[in-house]
Amino acid sequence: MDIKKSWLFSRPIAHRGLHGIDAPENSLAAFGKAIEAGFPIEIDVRPIDDGTVVVFHDDKLTRMTDLDGYVCNMTKSDLEKVRLRNSDERIPTFKEVLEFVDGRTPLLIEIKNDSTVGQLERDTLELLSSYKGEYAVQSFNPYSMEFFKKNAPQIPRGQLSCFFDKKDLGFFKRFVLKRLKMNKVSSPDFISYNHANLPNKYVTKTKLPTLAWTVRSNAEMEKCLPYCDNIIFENFIPVIGEKEE
């Protein structure tokens, strides 16, 4: 399969759904709006305390709910009690999202794992095993993508990266990941790089199709389009059209 001709590079991808005031990010409401508008959806998956895989970006609850604490300390029963900020939407499980989307639009699934690789990846793959829609996976963690390379090589894999802040990672990890030095481990089919850091020689050297994230305006889109093959967007509706060669 020529991945550059796949859904990953045919339409802009809605970052955590088509979210806004009435539809929080990574909510079923935001996913429904993206489906209605015809956009593929980028989502984030992470585990909670009882092993349930949920769709939620942050490791802490603070930004997106009225609670403090860490998402990983929640259980499935807790999900019923928590509402996403300024809405009646809950934190959905990955299973619920798959059932809701039901193949109506493709999913780009970010594996949120900065710890031991294995359980989250296995649980995610198990849930995907019976899913009939189109999807791909991506992660900042090259070992997470290595898991999928070994256990489900047919699933398109993306290596996420950016010019990391010092507060995010130590020097060695920043040096290696920024420069995509671990691609021999993850063997990505595509690169997913911060739009603000494009162009750069590390991405160019891979010669792989590239997604630019997270684009938040037409101006940002126009600036990065010459250096990528598609965008992951939020906070505006990109004009869909053929990219010039």
Nearest Cα to Cα of residue 13 among 152, 221, 207: 221
The per-residue pLDDT for 167 is 76
The per-residue pLDDT for 243 is 47
Domain architecture of the chain: domains with CATH: 3-45+95-233 (3.20.20.190)
Backbone phi and psi for residue 100, each to the nearest 5 degrees, phi listed first: -70, -50
The per-residue pLDDT for 102 is 99
Backbone phi and psi for residue 16, each to the nearest 5 degrees, phi listed first: 60, 30
Which positions ≥6 away from 228 have C-beta within 8 Å? Answer: 193, 195, 198, 210, 211, 212
Contact by Cβ (8 Å): 89, 54: no
Active-site residues: which are they? 15, 57
Report, as ranges of residue numbers, the positions in the chain whose pLDDT lies below 70.
Answer: 240-245
